[in-house]
Structure 1
Amino acid sequence: MAAFALYLAAALCEIFGCFAVWIWMRQERSIWWLLPGMLSLAAFAYLLTRSPADAAGRAFAIYGGVYIAASLGWLWLVEGQRPDGWDLFGAALCLLGAAIILWAPRSA
């Protein structure tokens, strides 16, 4: 479960960083939104390097599934739009795929 927490923290950092740019550009807010956004994106990149995966591509694939689920949580909790059943089904499939990639037995 420590791996999942790591990927979730990375996802939240990436989502916030991108959201800060979204706020600045799409909602015409202060350019100062970019500072915490950039810091958050740097934290995302650092956290992803802490992945237990044996290769960067595998870490990115695992992260992708967690990112999708976390994005739907952001949609609901921050943007106030409840995910529908198809959103949840898709996220569950992505998390299943991420779990298979993460915990699959691998030969040395």
Structure 2
Amino acid sequence: MITIAAYIGAALAEIAGCYSFWAWVKYGKSAWWLLPGLVSLALFAYLLTFVHTPDAGRAYAAYGGVYIVSSIAWLWMVEGVRPDIFDLTGSGLCIIGAIVILVGPRLAA
């Protein structure tokens, strides 16, 4: 349960942090938007340390699927753009891949 919460929190923090840069560059918002964005990006990195796996690369790879699903949710809820069938299908495939990476059995080396 901690891993799921860490991934969801990390996704929200990363998307919000990246969006602050997007708003500054694309929407002409004040550079002050970057300060909470940087804090949010640091929080994103910290939250990923709560994922229960001994390997950082595996935690990051599985997180990619969660990030994609969260980004599509952001697109809909924050930006007001409704996802299409390709957004939803791609997100579903990515979350399946994330589950396989994170919980798949490991062969002994």
- TM-score (norm. length: structure 2): 0.94
Q: Who is 1:12 aligned against? A: 12
How many angstroms apart in 2 are the aligned matches of 1:46 and 1:2? 13
**What stretches of structure 2 of length at least 5 have no aligned partner?**
none
How many angstroms apart in 1 are the aligned matches of 2:88 and 2:106? 29
Q: Who is 1:21 aligned against? A: 21
Q: Give the ranges of 4+ consecutive aligned residues of structure 1 lying more than 6 Å apart after TM superposition.
A: none
Secondary structure of the structure 1 residue equivalent to 2:38: helix
- Residue 54 of structure 1 deviates from its aligned partner by 1.8
In the TM superposition, what whole-angstrom CA distance separates every residue of 1:3-30 from its partner, at most 9, and x where no partner exists? 2221111011000000001101111111
How many angstroms apart in 1 are the aligned matches of 2:73 and 2:17? 16
Aligned length: 108
Q: Who is 2:104 aligned against? A: 104
Q: Who is 2:34 aligned against? A: 34
Q: Who is 2:78 aligned against? A: 78
1:56-71 alignment, distance < 5 Å: 56-71=56-71
Percentage of pairs with the same residue: 56
Aligned CA RMSD, in angstroms, stands at 1.1
- Residue 58 of structure 1 deviates from its aligned partner by 0.3
**What stretches of structure 1 of length at least 5 have no aligned partner?**
none
